[in-house]
Amino acid sequence: MSTETVITDTATAPRAALAATAAETECILHALADILDGITDEQANAPTPCTQYAVADLRAHVVGWAVAFGAGLQAADGRAADPITVPIMGSGSAQVRGAGAAIVAGIASGGGDRDLILADGAGMPGAMALAMILWEYQVHGWDLAVATAQPWSPGAEALSDSIAFAEQMLTPDFQGVGKAFGPRVAVPTDAPALDRLLALSGRDPQWAAPLP
């Protein structure tokens, strides 16, 4: 997760829409958990498209932030755990699945209507945080999947929602060389939805792990 997060005002989404997004997010996190279970010890130091992280580092990053986000969306005061302090248990897959359930429960209890407060004190509306989580976990799921030669195929609705979110949120203030998100990558207008989401997010959909 690039945690230099885009912070902006956003209208509170209708409860049914929030619940649907939470369910999509839980599905993505379950798919990510399967990816985590498929990572071998030999792949721990392999590079990923998220260039600042090798596989093991990115695994720790996504697990820590998933737990933090789940806790924050459930908390009455919206305060997330510090992802740096989250111990990774085994592959981390059980923690990621648990985070998906926590996100669904948190949204059901009003987590989308209050601010999510990160460990560094930065805050964002819960509804926006949920949309951001769905977006970034689709991208990071692909990062880990392609780095470890595993399949990754988010659902059409989740991809559509996150493309719309990324198009709105990734302004020049936040995207480009040396910024929180890399520059957009050119792809054909009729490219698959996953490729378009990756390209919007500064990923090359054609990235492949280097040969040993």
Span 41-51, pLDDT tens digits: 999 999 999 98
pLDDT of residue 137: 98
Burial of 147 (0-12, 13-18, 19+ CB in 10 A): buried
Give the global pTM: 0.90
**Phi, psi (rounded to 5 degrees) for 125:** -60, 140
Q: Looking at residue 8, what is its pLDDT?
A: 40
Instruction: Answer yes or no: are the C-beta atoms of 127 and 113 closer than 8 Å.
Output: yes
Q: How many CB atoms lie within 10 A of CB 4?
A: 11
Q: How confident is the model at residue 178 (pLDDT cuts 50, 70, 90)?
A: confident
Q: Please report, rounded to a whole number, the percentage of residues in the chain having pLDDT higher than 90.
A: 82
What φ, ψ does residue 179 adopt, rounded to 5°? -110, 180
pLDDT at 132: 96
Name the residue with tokens 């995207």: 175
